[in-house]
Amino acid sequence: MVRLLRRTGTRSTRPGDPRAHRPARAPENDARHASQGERPGPGRQPRPPWSDPRAGLQTALGGRSVAGQVFFLQVVIVLLLVVSAVLALVLQVRHDTTQEARNRSLAVAQSFANAPGTREALSGPDPTAVLQPRAEAAREGSRVDFIVVMNTEGIRYTHPRPDRIGKKFVGNIAPALAGGTEVEEIDGTIGRLVQAVVPVKAPDGDVVGLVSAGITTEHVGGVADRQLPLVLAAAAAGLALATAGTALVSRRLMRQTHGLGPREMTRMYEHHDAVLHSVREGVIIVSGDGDLVLANDEAQRLLDLPSDAERRQVTELGLPTDTAELLASGRVATDEVHLVGDRLLAVNQRPTDLEGGPPGHVATLRDSTELRALSGKAEEARERLTLLYDAGVGVGTSLDVTRTAEELAALAVPRFADFATVDLFEAVLHGGEPEAAGGLRRAAFSGIRDDPPLYPVGERIRFVETSPQAQAQALAGGPATVEPCLAEAHGWLAQDLQRSAQVVEYGIHSMITVPVRAGGLLLGVANFWRSEKPGPFDEEELALAEELVARAAVSIDNARRYTREHGLAVTLQRSLLPRTLPEQGALDIAYRYLPARAAVGGDWFDVLPLSGTRVALVVGDVVGHGLHAAATMGRLRTAVHNFSALDLPPDELLGLLDELVGRIDQDEAAEGGAPVTGATCLYAVYDPVTRRCAIARAGHPPPAVIRPDGRVEFPEVPAGPPLGLGGLPFETAELELEEGSRIVLYTDGLIEGRGQDIDAGFELLGAALAGSGPSPEETCRAVLDARLPHRPSDDVALLVARTRALPASHVAQWEVPQDPAAVGEVRAAVTRKLTEWGLEELLFTTELVLSELVTNAIRYGSAPVRVRVLRDRALVCEVFDASSTSPHLRYAAMTDEGGRGLFLVAQLAERWGTRYTPTGKVIWAEQPLP
């Protein structure tokens, strides 16, 4: 049995031992009396004095204890050391202070005596006037208390106190008169001081004056004031450490003896022995030699120890090898599990000699067989819950169908399966409604290895009717199935005999197939394969797979719906944007349009040929994203097309567009729709004849201009308000552009971004434009590569136009007198010009058109009248006059004598029209070149 050293009995009493019936006070009674604060009586265990820190400290510092005597001796030693240190410090500081004062006063006196001008001032008519300021300046700079200059009789010329000047110097000047120096300590008028007296000598060696510098000793040093607190602080720290050390020593001594006598210690050990053998945890104590010193009842039961186990080597007790080696080694172990018989024991082992105890170690044993099984199930349940939580967080991070399927497959491997595949209907991948009759396409794969003989990603698969995938693919949406042994799953093997055999040979032995179902829609199937774990999938794992796929199916369906809506919006938006640019000769144009990453927006652009070889460039942005923004963009683009046909100046066109947006907002507000207010637009008209560009903008970023020499400018264009606000006018700015200049129009997605200031955006855009090539196409490529290396978060429209100039040889104009006879002269001049251009085929129609237009201008217009003919992609005839009255086309009756002129012009010309200028109007007509 268990034997304890320093005990009055041989061993503790066990149940069944006759000595157990010996009357004794119940421990709980002692505890109850102690808790009530009663004083220990006969037979009661006294409260250990070391359990109360205050009592222990009082006992330790008592003069009758050894600890108290040691404490008193330590205090005396500390006090002696402190007194000695203070005394030595005072003496040392006094010596250092005097020496410092002597050195400083001597150095200052010699420096001033030998300073330039001192000897000359002594021989001057008024030495005080010259030397007093110098002496005071030197005194303040050298930190001495006085500098006194005197004659050989000791009469002062300088002094910090002017009332002392002219009086006799107090001190010994005889050594200085003899040519030497004198340093002495005296009680002067300003206190105890050290002063030095040095001579001022003439070049021949005669003493012509004396200089004395002095400093009071209290102004030197100060080291004691700084060091004395440190000494006192060290003394206080020493006393504190002595007190703490004495208290610790006293508590350690009382802890070793427990403050108890033999009787109390015997009772305490009996209680400890009873507790040791009653706990439901095995306790084993092994000596440093490997002998079993103690094993309580629970340890003997768990290890099935023999009755004579104590005092034997633990390696001889018949324990399993690993358990015996652990108990014999004495190494530290924490919850180390060992199989002993049919029990799983959690062993904790610690040495007993950490705090000066006897060599050896103690081990505790806990039966964790049932706890291990329960904890394994709890851990498995926790892992499944974590997997489902991660599915809710990690699947569906993007609105992309394929990406969502890949996230599902990646989540399942390797936490749930060794391989995972997701097969979706073809229509689902493109955002359409799933078609059960259609085939599936492998959308995602994930595995612990990359070489399994499964269908690869992207392959179109048609499953046979007997396969689990086909059953899950049924119209009604079949149930999830588990195939515990693929080698015996004949329905699955029939899918592809060769590939199925390869899968089984590869080591994949079990599979779960789950339909990917969102509401009433079957989107595809998900498959989970197992190869590493020898056991097959079970019903619990089937339920987990169903829950996992059900959560992912919602994200896949959301991605499908988004893909469909995004595709519709992109299709609508692209249908509303220009697919090809119209032919014109004024500009070389390149453009880019990039839809937003998340949703389409309302950015748009257009190129509109105008009369007189002019071209209009327009860029706009509608607030918001989605179908509404795309539809609104189409309405604004159509409106600009219509307004541009009127040949209006840019500011007037934006005014009409602003009114239109205001009316649209009123209609939308009445119907509860979203307003358009906040849309922006920039409208520019370039004339290749004059090389001038008129620009107006409504809340839009200004254009950029790249000059032929490569300089990048952002011209000042008045910023009008965004469209729809109303009430504020728009202004037009005119730029003169050299041939070969590039005009860059863009939307705000190119210069704005998260965390980026718009000024920084302009700087970056300017840098990208400066480094671009000379052609518009190269400019577009350079800007997008520099500013948008990835898909943008907002729509971006970019339009780059390089200017051309119509050669002067292709322009002819004549001033026409206000006389009908001048029409013939105009016809003749035009005939000569067309003959020169080689356009004889157009002579008849051009003469007829110009005759009608010039006659109308002379008859109904105002002077001056001017004719201009332009040769570009078409032959343009223009007649200018100062009248603002616009002609209109009439359809004359058979009996009418007039009214057929414009009708003939409309029939002969390809296009004709009227545009207004600040000084009148222009009637123009175009004819295609032969």
Model pLDDT, residue 512: 93
Three-state SS at 538: coil
Q: Would you say 215 and 145 are in contact if contact means Cβ atoms under 8 Å apart?
A: yes
800: pLDDT confidence band, cut at 50, 70 and 90? very high
- Residue 372, pLDDT above cutoff 80: no
Work out the number of other CB atoms within 10 angstroms of the CB of residue 629: 25
Tokens of 54: 């205050």
608 Cβ contact list (under 8 Å, min separation 6) = 582, 615, 616, 617, 618, 640, 641, 644
Give the whole-angstrom CA distance, residue 223 versus residue 89.
Answer: 9
Tokens of 867: 């004719």
Model pLDDT, residue 597: 66
Tokens of 846: 């051009």
Question: DSSP character for 455?
Answer: P
Q: Where are the alpha helices (DSSP H) in 39-117?
A: 53-61, 66-113
Gyration radius from the chain CA atoms: 54
Read off φ and ψ for residue 426, nearest 5 degrees. Answer: -55, -45
- Residue 794, pLDDT above cutoff 80: no
Model pLDDT, residue 886: 74
Assess whether the previous peptide bond of 53 is cis (omega < 30° from 0): no
User: Which amino acid is present at 502?
Assistant: Q
Read off φ and ψ for residue 686, nearest 5 degrees. Answer: -110, 135
Question: DSSP letters along 215-283, please?
Answer: EEGGGS--HHHHHHHHHHHHHHHHHHHHHHHHHHHHHHHHHHHTT--HHHHHHHHHHHHHHHHHSSSEE
- Residue 2, pLDDT above cutoff 70: no
Pick the range with the lowest mean pLDDT from 38-42, 441-445, 627-631: 38-42
Model pLDDT, residue 65: 54
Pick the range with the lowest mean pLDDT from 651-665, 777-791, 822-836: 777-791
- The sheet that has 796-803: what strands, in order across it? 587-594, 796-803, 742-746, 704-706, 712-713
Burial 115-143 (b: 16+ CB within 10 A, else e): eeebbebbeeeebbebbbebbeebbeebe
Closest CA to 698 of 663, 736, 660: 660
Pick the range with the lowest mean pLDDT from 259-263, 793-797, 820-824: 259-263
What is the pLDDT averaged over residues 100-120?
Answer: 83
What is the pLDDT averaged over residues 788-792?
Answer: 66
Give the whole-angstrom CA distance, residue 819 versus residue 854.
Answer: 10
For strand 796-803 and strand 521-530, is the pairing parallel, antiparallel, or unpaired? unpaired
| Chain centre distance of CA 538 | 44
Work out the number of other CB atoms within 10 angstroms of the CB of residue 793: 14
Give the whole-angstrom CA distance, residue 91 versus residue 224.
Answer: 10
Question: DSSP letters along 486-508, please?
Answer: GGG-HHHHTT-HHHHHHHHHHT-
Model pLDDT, residue 40: 42
Model pLDDT, residue 527: 93
**Greater pLDDT, 109 or 605:** 605
Q: Which residue has the tokens 């000359």?
A: 120
Work out the number of other CB atoms within 10 angstroms of the CB of residue 820: 11
Model pLDDT, residue 436: 64
Give the whole-angstrom CA distance, residue 147 versus residue 135.
Answer: 6
Work out the number of other CB atoms within 10 angstroms of the CB of residue 510: 23
Work out the number of other CB atoms within 10 angstroms of the CB of residue 451: 7
Q: Mean pLDDT of all residues in the chain?
A: 80
**How open is the CA angle 168-174-175, to the nearest 5 degrees?**
135
Cα dist from 821 to 854, 859, 898, whole Å: 11, 12, 19
Give the whole-angstrom CA distance, residue 385 versus residue 544.
Answer: 9
Give the whole-angstrom CA distance, residue 812 versus residue 370.
Answer: 107
What is the pLDDT averaged over residues 381-390?
Answer: 81
**Greater pLDDT, 69 or 51:** 69
Three-state SS at 580: coil
Read off φ and ψ for residue 338, nearest 5 degrees. Answer: -130, 145
Model pLDDT, residue 17: 43
Pick the range with the lowest mean pLDDT from 53-57, 110-114, 373-377, 413-417: 53-57
Percent of the chain's residues with pLDDT above 70: 81
User: Which amino acid is present at 846?
Assistant: T
Read off φ and ψ for residue 605, nearest 5 degrees. Answer: -155, 165
What is the pLDDT averaged over residues 827-846?
Answer: 90
What is the pLDDT averaged over residues 746-772?
Answer: 85
